[in-house]
Amino acid sequence: MRLRIGHMYPDLMNLYGDRGNVIALARRLQWRGIEAEIVGIAAGDAAALGDFDLLFMGGGQDREQAIVCRDLEARREDLRRAMEADVVLLAVCGGYQLLGHYYRMPDGREIPGLGILDLHTEAGPTRMIGNAACRSEYLPEPGTLVGFENHGGRTYLGPGCAPLATVLSGHGNNGEDGGEGAVYRNVFGTYLHGSLLPKNPHFADLLLGRALARRGAGTMGDPLDDSLEWRAHRVALGLAGVDGREA
Amino acid sequence: MGIRARLAHIFGKLGIRVLRLLGRAATTAPGRVILAVDPGFISRVSGQVRHSRAVITGTNGKTTTAALLEGMMAGAGWKVVRNASGSNMAAGIATALVDHDAISGCDALVAEVDEAALAGVAAMVQPDLAVVTNFFRDQLDRYGELDRTVDLVRRGLERVRGTACLNADDPRVADLADSLPGEVDTVFFGLAGEASGGERDAVDPAAAGLDTQFCPRCGGRFTYEGRVFGHLGDYRCPDCGWRRPARHVVGRILDADGAGLLMAIDFPDGDSLVAKLGVPGAYNAYNAVGAAAAARAAGIDGPAIRAGLEAFTGAFGRMERLSLEDREVVLALSKNPVGFDQILRAVADDAGTGAVLVGINDGHADGRDISWLWDVDFEMLDAGEVPVVVSGTRAEDMAVRLKYGGLDLERLQIVGDLEGALERAVERSPRGARVYALLTYTAMLGLRERLERRGLVGEMWRG
Ligand SMILES: [Zn+2]
């Protein structure tokens, strides 16, 4: 078995150590004896997104995101077909926002997104910054996700997707409705970085499990020794002001 | 000088003395008292500075550049006031002015200034000299994004009269020249790419050159004739044709080893000097050239510049060396991916390395977001056998980073307390070997304070 992981725009969309997520996915496959092929997809590259098992996209600065936006426009149909074929996608922060219908600027202008997730984002007056924790029904016990959020945009979900998690501490999608991130089929969006997957090993395995299941692999094999990861997870819960037991 | 400023000076002096009696560093707290008593203290006192009021800003190298410039001016016989490393907002500058009795006159003020504080500080200091070192992503959660930091510096530079020394090899810094007030002279400095030897392309651009690769004028993607490291080098925009401006002051690394650099610096008037620098790395060569450019603009002659360069042994925490139980401990401030990568390379290249301590804190001054750890190439530690001790408030995150970097877990140990972690690293290192302590800002401050009490390092406020 060999999984192909596409890292979308590794040079442009890597604002918050996002490559840690790809490192985590690759290592966890390697530790299970499953081969991982990591492919960087740069702006302008010819790449059939449906040929990947798992795609990752991080966040970038405004300037970089504008370039990505233009490039993604040309990939819209390809990406949509890949999503309908249940290719697994994780998008963090800026990448998450790009999957929605549009981003509304402070002056009211709307920058169109890909419309893959039924959500939109509005620029807010302040940035929402800090350690954050939430709990997700998609995850096995303890179900908590920890990370760091830093976003000015407020994201609002439509009926076509569900929140990934419920905020325990921090702001989440918009600081209002208690939701964090979004899920549609095998597409996951979130504001959490940190990097996210290394200290949320259950979420990394959820993504890998779905990618493997799609390829007909029944099991992931023996569980890995994640004691170090959970130690970091518990420290991050504490920093977010959440007691590991009550969470 | 008015009664108010005198009163502020006396209060500040008292505060500094009390803190030192308690064995504490007097950096910003006295400054807050001084500015509460006399909000106009900095502008009043710096108005009396005889020759030069310099501000130094940028992501990396502020402290080293400021210390080098201070040394060069001291070499010319000037009395110089410089703020303590890292105390680079108004309060830290007020503390320094009082501590060095600037109220009774001095020749120069050399202030390293936080990028976000530059506009405010420059309004008080009225600088006639400015140095901008570079822009790397750093402490993101404090300011938002790099574009904003650049704008803050741009706004701060509007207050500068006299000369602005800009790193021409960094496109975002070079681009600032166009928005300077008309009467300001621009001095561009940089490093000759061909002489950078082993440092050239030391950092894989795809992995770490993530900061500035795009033309600030048109958004085009830069091509490089040569890179020194990161995004610093001879860039050119294929879309609008903008390229690195011609440099007035150029440094060349003639020879380099783990302990230092031999470098030549060429000035625009055909003058040139060769000096030995007691700190390693191309990033320190940039600091040396930036400081030399500023010193020359302030009217300092070649021999004094050279004396300043050669007398330099490291600003606070940048590769500071001390001896502990027959091991040489090297303290290295490591606060962002590019700085970290440079130091890790030195550690990996040093056959005498006996153990490594990595101390990661997430205090306000460190940046509360530690996701940048994933942009550092800790994989450089994988080769070899040396034990690695991780510490600080984010020791566990650091341990996970090393695990996913491929480090053999047998070599890894977590010790939350920094002093305990250093002791553990020393224990696990063979006698006579070097123990590298790579520390974020507050981790350095905390560990150094303990070492200071044991008399192992000098007092920070004199560093
Ligand atoms: Zn251009």
Report the CATH number at residue B106: 3.40.1190.10
The nearest alpha carbon in chain A to B409 belongs to A228
| CB within 8 Å of A107: residues ≥ 6 apart | none
Rounded to an integer, what distance in angstroms lies between the CA atom of residue A147 and that of residue A193?
5
Verify that B190 and B232 share a domain, yes or no.
yes
The nearest alpha carbon in chain A to B145 belongs to A61
Verify that B250 and B366 share a domain, yes or no.
no
> Residue B387 domain-assigned?
yes
> Residue B19 domain-assigned?
no
Mutation for testing the A interface, residue in B139, B397, B402 having most A CBs under 10 Å: B397
Burial of B269 (0-12, 13-18, 19+ CB in 10 A): exposed
User: Is pTM, for the whole model, over 0.80?
Assistant: no
Cis peptide before A195 (omega within 30 of 0): yes
**Cα(B213) to centroid of ligand 1, in Å?**
11
What 3-state DSSP class applies to A155?
A: strand
User: What's residue B258's pLDDT?
Assistant: 61
Verify that B302 and B388 share a domain, yes or no.
no
Domain count, chain A: 1
> Residue B7 domain-assigned?
no
* Residue B278: count of CB within 10 angstroms of its CB: 15
| ipTM, 2 dp | 0.96
Domain count, chain B: 2
CA nearest neighbour of A225 among A32, A20, A5: A32
Of B258, B292, B311, the domain-final residue: B311
Helix crossing, A19-31 with A201-214: angle to 10°?
70
pLDDT in tens, B112-170: 999 999 999 999 999 999 999 999 876 454 445 788 889 999 999 999 999 999 999 99
Burial of B3 (0-12, 13-18, 19+ CB in 10 A): exposed
Q: Are strands B260-266 and B272-277 parallel, antiparallel or unpaired?
A: antiparallel
Verify that B269 and B306 share a domain, yes or no.
yes
pLDDT band at B316 (very low <50, low <70, confident <90, very high): very low
pLDDT in tens, B287-303: 999 999 999 999 999 99
Rounded to an integer, what distance in angstroms lies between the CA atom of residue B125 and that of residue B233?
32
pLDDT in tens, B196-239: 333 333 333 344 444 557 898 998 888 888 888 888 999 999 99
Of B289, B311, B333, the domain-final residue: B311
pLDDT band at B449 (very low <50, low <70, confident <90, very high): confident
User: What's residue B458's pLDDT?
Assistant: 66
Q: Which residues of B touch A129 (CB under 8 A)?
A: 141, 368-369
User: What's residue B88's pLDDT?
Assistant: 87
| CB within 8 Å of B430: residues ≥ 6 apart | B354
Closest residue to A61, CB basis, from B145, B406, B414: B145
Q: Which residue segment(s) compose the domain that B302 sits in?
A: 45-89+99-311
CA distance readout (Å), B113 to A65, A159, B53, B57, B442: 30, 49, 12, 5, 18
Longest CA–CA separation in chain A, Å:
53
Flag if A27 and B404 touch (Cβ within 8 Å).
yes
The nearest alpha carbon in chain B to A13 belongs to B210
Closest residue to A17, CB basis, from B214, B368, B374: B374
> Residue B346 domain-assigned?
yes
Flag if A148 and B368 touch (Cβ within 8 Å).
yes
pLDDT band at B321 (very low <50, low <70, confident <90, very high): confident
- Torsion-angle region of A45 (φ positive above 0: left; ψ -120 to 50: alpha; else: beta): beta
Mutation for testing the B interface, residue in A9, A12, A14, A16 having most B CBs under 10 Å: A16
Residues in chain A, overall count:
247
Verify that B299 and B442 share a domain, yes or no.
no
Mutation for testing the B interface, residue in A21, A148, A191 having most B CBs under 10 Å: A148
Q: Which residues of B touch A199 (CB under 8 A)?
A: 397, 400
CA nearest neighbour of B225 among B215, B233, B217: B233
Flag if B214 and A63 touch (Cβ within 8 Å).
yes
Q: What is the mean pLDDT of residues B164-190?
A: 95
Flag if A62 and B147 touch (Cβ within 8 Å).
yes
Verify that B124 and B182 share a domain, yes or no.
yes
Residue B238 φ then ψ, to 5°: -70, -20
> What's the distance, Cα to Cα, between the start and end of chain A in Å?
36
The nearest alpha carbon in chain B to A201 belongs to B400
**Cα(B83) to centroid of ligand 1, in Å?**
38
Verify that B170 and B54 share a domain, yes or no.
yes
Structural tokens at position B224: 């490089």
Rounded to an integer, what distance in angstroms lies between the CA atom of residue B352 and that of residue B430?
10
Mutation for testing the A interface, residue in B404, B409, B413, B415 having most A CBs under 10 Å: B404
Of B255, B282, B311, the domain-final residue: B311
Cβ atoms of residues A5 and A90 within 8 Å:
no
Closest residue to B400, CB basis, from A14, A18, A199: A199
CA nearest neighbour of B446 among B413, B414, B422, B412: B422
The C-alpha R_g of chain A, in whole angstroms, comes to 17
Q: Are strands B80-82 and A2-8 parallel, antiparallel or unpaired?
A: unpaired
Tokens 């501590």, located at residue: B99
What 3-state DSSP class applies to B65?
A: helix
pLDDT in tens, A85-131: 999 999 999 999 999 999 998 888 898 999 999 999 999 988 899 99
Residues of A annotated as catalytic are 93, 193
Residue B340 φ then ψ, to 5°: -60, -45
> Residue B15 domain-assigned?
no
Enter the DSSP assignment of B244: P
Q: Which residue segment(s) compose the domain that A210 sits in?
A: 2-246
Rounded to an integer, what distance in angstroms lies between the CA atom of residue A214 and that of residue A210?
6
Rounded to an integer, what distance in angstroms lies between the CA atom of residue B422 and that of residue B403?
20
Residues of chain A with pLDDT under 50: 247
Chains A, B: CB contacts within 8 A come to 97
Q: Which residues of A touch B362 (CB under 8 A)?
A: 239
CA A196 and chain centroid, separation:
8
Verify that B327 and B301 share a domain, yes or no.
no
The nearest alpha carbon in chain A to B392 belongs to A235
Closest residue to B404, CB basis, from A23, A66, A231: A23
> Residue B71 domain-assigned?
yes
Verify that B307 and B357 share a domain, yes or no.
no
> Residue B407 domain-assigned?
yes
| CB within 8 Å of B99: residues ≥ 6 apart | B12, B13, B16, B26, B30, B461
Q: What is the CATH number of the domain that holds A212?
A: 3.40.50.880
Flag if B397 and A19 touch (Cβ within 8 Å).
no
**Cα(B160) to centroid of ligand 1, in Å?**
27
- Torsion-angle region of B27 (φ positive above 0: left; ψ -120 to 50: alpha; else: beta): alpha
Rounded to an integer, what distance in angstroms lies between the CA atom of residue A52 and that of residue A39?
9
Residues in chain B, overall count:
463
Mean pLDDT of chain B: 88
Flag if B404 and A235 touch (Cβ within 8 Å).
no
Q: How far is A17 from chain B (nearest CA, A)?
A: 5
Rounded to an integer, what distance in angstroms lies between the CA atom of residue A63 and that of residue B406?
34
Flag if A127 and B372 touch (Cβ within 8 Å).
no
Flag if A23 and B403 touch (Cβ within 8 Å).
no
User: What's residue B144's pLDDT?
Assistant: 53
Q: How far is B369 from chain A (nearest CA, A)?
A: 6
Structural tokens at position B380: 């450089």
User: What's residue B200's pLDDT?
Assistant: 36
> Residue B11 domain-assigned?
no
